[in-house]
Structure 1
Amino acid sequence: MTRAPAIQYFVETQNGEWTVRRDGKRYGPYRDRSVALRQAVDAAHTSGRNDRPAQVLVQGEDGTFMAEWTYGDHSYPPPD
């Protein structure tokens, strides 16, 4: 059974703006999904390098979140 990383960054759209949420705090807004995603991956990568594994989840059109990037499983920087 795989455990979810201790730190999760949620890339989501709220009121038409893209934000990143972690531990109940929101960061942004960002001009679009790709910019918000890159900010979240950069933060998750820094966290992972500091021995705090992290994961980025992105909100889909149906409102559910899917894992998009996980420290140690995906390349950094991610391809554009």
Structure 2
Amino acid sequence: MKRATFFVRPHGDKWKVKKEGKDAACHVCTTQQEGVRVARKLASASAPAQIIIEKEDGTFQQEWTHKNSSVLFENKNRRSL
């Protein structure tokens, strides 16, 4: 099964969640944290999946790839967004 990739990107003063290969954003969110929550829900419905958070300049800030999306962000040593 092909892995789905979801991007969380700055969009003006908001954050957009976009699935790779789609032209339009899936969701536009007020905060990065909200965007990550939306991306996690979408990823869990599309496992295996990857979430990539981008900075303003388009470089990657953080990335998660999992076969089982239910384990996303369970690492307690990682700082919470």
Deviation readout 1:31-73 (Å, 9 max, x if unpaired): 100110111011111111xxxx210000024321255222237
RMSD: 2.4
Q: Normalising by structure 1, report the TM-score.
A: 0.69
Q: Which runs of 5+ in 1 are unaligned?
A: none
Give the percent of matched residue pairs that are identical in Structure 1 and Structure 2. 28
Within 5 Å, which residues of 2 pair with 1:29-68? 29-48=28-47, 53-68=48-63
Misfit runs of 4+, over 4 Å: none
Residue 77 of structure 2 is matched in structure 1 by none
Query: Is the counterpart of residue 15 in structure 1 residue 12 in structure 2?
Result: yes
Residue 70 of structure 1 is matched in structure 2 by 65
Q: Which runs of 5+ in 2 are unaligned?
A: 75-79
Contact 1:55 1:67 in 2 (8 A): no
Q: In 2 relative to 1, CA 40–8 (structure 1 residues): closer, same or farther, beyond 3 Å? A: same
Q: What letter matches 1:56 in structure 2?
A: I
